[in-house]
Structure 1
Amino acid sequence: MIREDRFLISRKSFAIDLSTIEGEQQAVGDRYAYSGHANAVWFRRKDGTTRACLGTLGLWSHYLTEPLDLSDPLNVLRANLDGRYGGDCHGRWDGERYWGAQKPFEQALHLTLLEPMLANYPVIPDGYDGWWTFQTA
């Protein structure tokens, strides 16, 4: 992944909770495969409406040339990871409508993050590191 200094919605960037990065790796011939995930937040725009999203981001690669230091979250993120599927959205807020969890307590938890996130667009929420993208320059 690539960490960028400024946010551009077109780059499909994510802010990641570094403390939630988990994964496993294994040797595959002369290469290494990594499969993991992390909690993340992101912004997306549809039909002119900006949405704040939270969920899980899949982190994986089948073709790493050397093993990752799994004790260093930044080392994991800087690897040549594949993110073609983007984030798995668990909750989304567009300023008017919420989509996501059905349990009222979970909805309330999501909205305590998503409402201020959208109101302060594109500021990275506390506890997250960003902006990270899978897209090359």
Structure 2
Amino acid sequence: MTRSVELRHAAHGRTGDKGNRSNISVIAWDPALYPLLVDQLTEEAVARRFASRRPTRVTRHLLPNLHAMNFVLDDVLDGGVNDALNLDSHGKALSFVVLAMPLEVPESLLPLLRRPIPNQNDTMETTR
């Protein structure tokens, strides 16, 4: 049996940007949670999450010794910080979009999640 929680309960993120490219790193809070991230946080899932920003490419780099992964999203910053008219286009804000993604967690791993996690009867809302 599994429970759906926001990714932020299983991992934290670091981000950066250069030109029109964003780097988003996702780091598991506990090494035992890393396999869930590898299985569920795919290039395709992240590309779907950022579909409204129309990335031309999403590349995932696995960092198993760090229990982390890094996503590189090309052409996702509206031309880059200096060219964009959108004030919220900085790559640093985009990790929150990833950390709000749903993650299916087996009940046996729930104690490893960061608190507070939602009650089982709560509905999870995610940003699009």
Superposed pair shares fold, TM > 0.5 = no
Which TM-score bucket, shorter chain as reference?
A: under 0.3
Structure in which a larger fraction of residues adopt strand? 1
- Say which structure is richer in helix: 2
Q: Whose RCO is larger (CA < 8 A, sep 6+)?
A: 2
TM-score (norm 1): 0.24
Q: TM-score, normalised by structure 2?
A: 0.25
